[in-house]
Structure 1
Amino acid sequence: MSLHEQAVVSILSSLALSFDGAVLGAALAYAAIRSIISFRSNASALRRLREAPSVGVSDLRSLLPPDDSSSSSGSGDSVDISEAAEGSLVILRGTVEFKSAVDGSWKNFKPSILVSQETGDKAVIIQRTQTCIYNEWKGFLWWTSDLRSIFAKSWRERESTSIRTVPFVLIERGRWQLGDFVIVNADGSKHPLPLTTVYHQLQPISASPYTFFQALFGHEYPIGLLDEEKILPLGKDITAVGLCSMRKGIPEIKSCKDLPYFLSEMSKDEMIVNLGFRTKVLFWSAIVLGSFSIGILGFSFIRNWRRWKEWRQRQDQEHHAQRNASAQDEDASEDTESADVPDGQLCVICLMRRRVSAFVPCGHLVCCRRCASSVERELYPKCPVCRQSIYGSLRVYES
């Protein structure tokens, strides 16, 4: 790790541990909340997968509700129509076949099947990915590349992906009949596809005249192009998990957004085991992260509360010290000025200092500040002149 990377790590750790770890505790609390949300969604998906029936293509029609066209021509019950349109959640195991082979649309001149350019395999989905690989060397002035590697990696597009699809269906292997098939509707689905890699090649890129200067100053430059092709071939056995309904007498399955699977090579039991493991990991992650966040936030709150109390005590002590110092300065000034005070302005108690404190509420100005304070500290303070009960005194200044 370079010096600047160590500096970045030090800055990030200082930020995380600031306010006695409050920032780190808040980040862990956010991660715990996200883990709880993911756990709830995965637990719901696991429950639905366990309850969903696993059937074959030939046995699917017996589980589906009636066709939406027939229900719309009946009494017109909107609830039944919406339930039929939504479909039932099923787990279906079948073999991939292109749609033209079962619906009889041989007169359609549009291409109904895809062929891989590299291997010649027939497929219904072809995904071509080209990834540009850049150098890892920082150069002699590597500090500029360090900062750019942190903030500017996403500025340049490193990967381009193109995908081609044709309509396809799932049939039952071995005893397939012409009417037993399910149309796969993958429109709007963001689930991963069970694609097979058929082509994988790394092509080097020739260096340009500016490559030496790019390497000298730590700028990234391409060194290779990774070309990869994945397909969903015909005859591959896959599992479809989704909402299945009848459309014009033909069963159709589409993805469910609440489930993490749509088309997969795993069976129902493998999906349940995989999703159950993920659910347990999310559950314990939420507990551990939540416990750590509560402990760190509690420690941070107590430490900052104690620091605030100590700061308040220091402020009060400084305030009292300033008041005592000002009082001592005033007493010292009164002592120095007592020699020049006429007899009519001397304190009636000590007869040494000037009268500067007036009692409240009687208003008699007869005592110095020190004697007025001693009178106020008595059990039943009274004015030494009128003997009226007092509750305080005021410092009187002559202009």
Structure 2
Amino acid sequence: MSSRDNETAAAIARAATSFDGAVLGIGLALCAASTWAKYFATSHALRRIRLAPSAPISDLRSLLPSSSSDDDEAALIVVRGHVQPRSAVDGPPWASAKSFGSLVSQGSGERAVIVKQTQTCLYNEWRGIFGWSFDLHAIFAKSWKEQRTSSFRSVPFILVEGGRWPRSGYVHVNLDGSDHPLPLTTVYHQLHPIQATPYTLFQAIFGNGYPVALLDEEKILPVGKEITAVGFCRTRDGALEVKSCQELPFFLSEMTKDEIEAELATNTAALLWSGILLGTLSIGILGYAIARNWSRWKEWRERRKRDRELRNQAASVPSGMEEELGEVPDGELCVICLMRRRRSAFIPCGHLVCCPSCALTVERDSFPKCPVCRQSIRSSIRIYDS
């Protein structure tokens, strides 16, 4: 790790531990609240998926209510089937055999119903020969490091029952309004180097980062792939349709229902213990910070009260101060002002090294220390010759 990164990490650590860890405690409390929110959402999704019936596509109609015209009346189901383009139903009789109406992958030549192409421009992390790099660049490097351009193509598709198609039924998959991840398969992945330009030289000198390669990827949902759909099922124009449920973390997945339940159960347990741990740490740190800052506030209040008393005492000091400005031997001069006689001894160290005025000045410091032994002092006392 470079010195600049070390300084950034140290600054973040100082900010987190400021106010005796109050900032760190608040941050942990926010993380705990977010973790608990995710825990309740995941556990709720797990209960709903466990209660959702799972049946072959040919038996789906028996699971639907008598009138299911909208999502409110639709049934949450889990169904597993093979991907086919909708043209296999709407097209000519030979459509299913030749996958008529599907897309063709440019990378592999496979038939697919979804094709996603992504080009990612990768940047280097060198700071330049002058080392000019803003600290926030390291924090937001991910967003500046990669610039992506992507294209997404899809055709309507259905799920069919394996081994029985076309003699069995089918269910349409509706992707409208769904932002769930899709079970895509990577069929093309290649890194292309980028040729340097004169502008690249200036980018390298000043440490702004320059492109070094272009990552080209292609992902598809191939025809014939077996997937699981978790969503609302209803009849639309006499045909079955399944649509995503935004409250659930899954819609289309390669996993079976049992595997989905096992993953959600693992995530729920991890979120539960993470929430307990983060909540306990945040409560402990915030409790310690509150106690420490309460003690400091009481000490500040007592010190302020003592300062007022010292100022009242100091009001009477100038009346006899001129007596101390005469001929004073060098060994009896105040070590601070070097003008007046030593008359005040510090408590508890007992050093008699300051005049009353300088002793009051020392006592008014935030952390008063004896100018000789550097020991913390509580007060001073005026010494009178007999």
TM-score after normalising by structure 2: 0.77
**2:225 maps to which residue?**
236
- Contact 2:132–2:206 at 8 Å: present in 1 too? no
Residues 1-399 of structure 1: matches in 2 within 5 Å? Answer: 1-68=1-68, 83-84=72-73, 87-104=74-91, 112-144=101-133, 147-151=136-140, 154=143, 158-177=147-166, 180-326=169-315
Q: CA deviation at 1:114?
A: 0.8
Q: 1:153 to 1:172 in 2, by over 3 A?
A: closer
- Contact 1:127–1:163 at 8 Å: present in 2 too? yes
- Contact 1:114–1:124 at 8 Å: present in 2 too? yes
- Matches of 2:246 and 2:12, distance apart in 1: 37
AA matched with 2:203:
Q
The superposition leaves residues 242-300 of structure 1 with CA deviations (integer Å, 9 ceiling, x where unpaired) of 01011122111000011110000001111111011101111001100000000000000
Q: CA deviation at 1:147?
A: 4.8
- Matches of 2:219 and 2:141, distance apart in 1: 30
- Contact 1:66–1:246 at 8 Å: present in 2 too? no
- Contact 2:102–2:155 at 8 Å: present in 1 too? yes
5+ residue gaps, structure 2: 94-99, 321-386
SS of equivalent residue, structure 2 residue 189? strand
- Matches of 1:323 and 1:217, distance apart in 2: 61
Stretch moving more, 60-69 or 6-15? 60-69
- Matches of 2:144 and 2:316, distance apart in 1: 68
The superposition leaves residues 284-322 of structure 1 with CA deviations (integer Å, 9 ceiling, x where unpaired) of 011000000000000000000000001111111121232
AA matched with 1:51:
L
- Matches of 2:142 and 2:53, distance apart in 1: 46
- Contact 1:186–1:254 at 8 Å: present in 2 too? yes
Equivalent residue pairs, number: 316
Q: CA deviation at 1:329?
A: 7.5
AA matched with 1:232:
L
AA matched with 1:31:
C
Q: CA deviation at 1:323?
A: 2.7
5+ residue gaps, structure 1: 70-80, 333-399
- Matches of 2:317 and 2:109, distance apart in 1: 102
Q: CA deviation at 1:200?
A: 0.9
- Matches of 1:18 and 1:317, distance apart in 2: 27
- Contact 2:122–2:215 at 8 Å: present in 1 too? yes
AA matched with 1:14:
R
**2:333 maps to which residue?**
none
- Matches of 2:83 and 2:31, distance apart in 1: 40
AA matched with 1:126:
V
SS of equivalent residue, structure 1 residue 55? coil
- Matches of 1:117 and 1:219, distance apart in 2: 35
Superposition RMSD in Å: 2.4
Greater Rg over alpha carbons, structure: 1
- Contact 1:102–1:178 at 8 Å: present in 2 too? no
Q: 1:156 to 1:138 in 2, by over 3 A?
A: closer
- Matches of 1:48 and 1:260, distance apart in 2: 11
- Matches of 2:77 and 2:286, distance apart in 1: 45
- Matches of 1:302 and 1:197, distance apart in 2: 55
**2:347 maps to which residue?**
none
- Matches of 2:136 and 2:67, distance apart in 1: 61
**1:348 maps to which residue?**
none
**2:338 maps to which residue?**
none
